[in-house]
Structure 1
């Protein structure tokens, strides 16, 4: 997730409700709002990226 800090304000890890991945989920008629959040969001706190 450290690589995402330079381009993301917060990071959410989600699971598809339908199928095995996002493509399957969306193809089955699911929406981005249907994904199940896994864990708590990690908000950007202004740390400098050390990639």
Structure 2
């Protein structure tokens, strides 16, 4: 029983680490897009798209 719980906990930790890595990758991707849009001359500060 205890071994089963430990294994389950380890699986959860592994899954959490994977999710955190994916989250960081997504944040990085969003930052790249944000930077590229910020540098576009046709989008002026204070305007909302759409």
TM range, smaller chain: under 0.3
Q: Normalising by the residue count of structure 2, what TM-score does the alignment of the two structures yield?
A: 0.19
Q: Which has the higher helix share?
A: 2
Looking at both structures, which has the greater relative contact order when contacts are Cα pairs under 8 Å and sequence separation is at least 6?
1
Q: Which has the higher strand share?
A: 1
Higher Rg: 2
Q: Normalising by the residue count of structure 1, what TM-score does the alignment of the two structures yield?
A: 0.19
